[in-house]
Amino acid sequence: MKAKYCKHILEFKKPSGTSRGVLKTKETWFIVINDGARQGIGECGILRTLSVDDRPDYEDMLKWVCNNIHLGTTKLWHELKEFPSIQFGVEMAFKSLESDTPFLLFPSLFTQGKEAITINGLIWMGEREFMKEQIINKLDQGFDCIKMKIGAIDFAAELELLSYIRSQFDADTIELRVDANGAFTPESALDKLKSLSAFNLHSIEQPIRQGQHHEMARLCSETPLPIALDEELIGVFDVAHKKQLLKTIQPQYIILKPSLIGGFRGTRQWIEVAESLGIQWWITSALESNVGLNAIVQFTYTLQNSMPQGLGTGGLYTNNIDSPLKVQQGTLLYEQGKEWSTNFLN
């Protein structure tokens, strides 16, 4: 058994705004395992400045993994505790290696093209007119759940955009989620949550910066609007610490990004802890290429969570990997008869 890795730079069709700045490119890494005639492919979807494993020794660790691929997925997963994106890539590559085809990781009615996954439509930060244009496009595309990133433009303008959506569609027609990416201060957050609650929102993700556990716990206990933890989960490795975090903060929801929290195994750990505490959850991709997105989507389907998932980021790039994944009428489908491209491995 041999392994190698390669780097791939994904290029955004349009610069995409977040509370941390504007993204034009996204770096990702692929691990490829060869065992005789069989091949396994995994994606290590690192997000610079956000992933806990954004470290100078990241590529050194990829080399170490390839040199020690004989250890197998379970042993490597434990050795890679501080590198959750590589944990995910290794899990994916071994799951791919076991499959009859490299991209069929979790065979199901979804991969047979018989069922779809409901997803939210993502609205990126930007100038008011750009955000309004995105909202109109998502509604025209048949989405009935929209997630809007907030915190980068004037708050009053963001409230105006939400008011526009609600003037056209009530909460029974369109579910609205917002993601602050930690943009609010602890002092201003509750007042802003009260203002946002006027629009019958489903939830707000990460209203304040992660790491302020007691402030977040206070918000979750006093909020008029359900709060979902996102970045808060990054860098929490041990199950005991996961339990302690959720018991302390007691959020209404958690959002799980396998690339940032240790892949399939790490995601299952968070789900088990959350469900034991009565906390609901959904899964979101983290700007992976279609290779990583495919693994997350197939895994997500097996969990049978009926809430809209955050899995619609595959169309963001000019040089993504051609795949059978297709967004249609607010759902994600696996299009039968369409082949995967493997040119990215050359």
Closest CA to 225 of 162, 273, 269: 162
The 8-class DSSP code of residue 108 comes to: S
Phi-psi region of 146 (alpha: psi -120 to 50; beta: other; left: phi over 0): beta
> What distance in Å separates the CA atoms of residue 85 and residue 51, rounded to the nearest whole number?
8
The 8-class DSSP code of residue 53 comes to: T
Whether residue 63 lies in the annotated active site: no
Lookup: tokens for 201: 């929102």
**H or E element that contains 135:** helix 128-140
> What distance in Å separates the CA atoms of residue 48 and residue 239, rounded to the nearest whole number?
25
> What distance in Å separates the CA atoms of residue 183 and residue 96, rounded to the nearest whole number?
38
Residue 261 backbone dihedrals phi, psi, to 5 degrees: -130, 20
Among the listed residues 95, 147, 242, 257, the single catalytic one is: 257
Give 21's contacts (C-beta < 8 A, 6+ positions apart). Answer: none
Among the listed residues 149, 194, 326, 338, the single catalytic one is: 149
Whether residue 149 lies in the annotated active site: yes
Active site residues: 149, 257
